[in-house]
Amino acid sequence: MRLFAMTLLFLMHGHCAAQSESLAACLDKLAADSRFALIAGKLSLGMAANAKPAMLDDSSTANNKERPLIAEWAAARAECLKADSKFGNETYRAPMQTFGIDAEHKVMAAAVELYDQKISFGEFNRRREAVAEELRGKAVELNRRIRQQSVAFEQADQQARERDQMQRELDEAAWQATMARQQAERAQEAAARRGVRPNAPYGVRPYQRAPGFAARNCFRFGDRIACTGW
């Protein structure tokens, strides 16, 4: 179960990355679209918010020629976002996809203010840079949590394997003890049937007293000795 959860976690992350790449590819096509050539020098039209210093310092607001292009560019971005949003729903959506959609919503809200001439091009670009920075921070935090969960899953699996190994060793020791006890019981039963004291060394006979011998008494008669026994 833990292995399945860990696998699912990485699959979700990979699926989310694939979707983000799909959204990026769609948005990057806008950067090369000739329709937006007039505002290409004032806005970063693609996925990345890589505004040049001059773009960040631009204090001008959109003129009447630029405003329709901003609206058309925003509508094209909305179509890219709509295509990406079809994956998942509000109940479930991969985390990075949710972060990306939220970021695009903030960019679109800023684009509305740019179109309405409420903010300058420079302010729009700065807001977009802040949104991109926030998105990067969320991605880093998500990756950190994924790594932590991966480590936790691996540790749990290792502990489970160690418990299984310990249980197998306990079962083996219990089985060997049972076999040894049964073998000892069978040996005692067999010894009882033969009338031999269990555990007695093979071939030992009951103690028998050694035959006695008569005391030997000898007597000297000068140079001659006479004995009454052997």
Measured between alpha carbons, how far is 200 from 161 in angstroms, rounded to an integer? 47
Query: What pTM, to 2 d.p., does this model score?
Result: 0.55
Q: What pLDDT digit, counting tens, does each position of 36-60 carry?
A: 999 999 988 887 777 889 999 999 9
Alpha carbon of 77 to those of 56, 80, 120: distances in Å? 21, 5, 20
State how far Cα 7 lies from the chain centre.
Answer: 8
107 against 98, higher pLDDT:
107
> How many percent of the chain have pLDDT more than 90?
22
State how far Cα 151 lies from the chain centre.
Answer: 4
- Burial class of residue 74 in the structure, from the number of CB atoms within 10 Å of its CB (0-12 exposed, 13-18 middle, 19+ buried): middle
Tell me: pLDDT of 179 over 70: yes
pLDDT at 209: 54
Tell me: pLDDT of 7 over 70: no
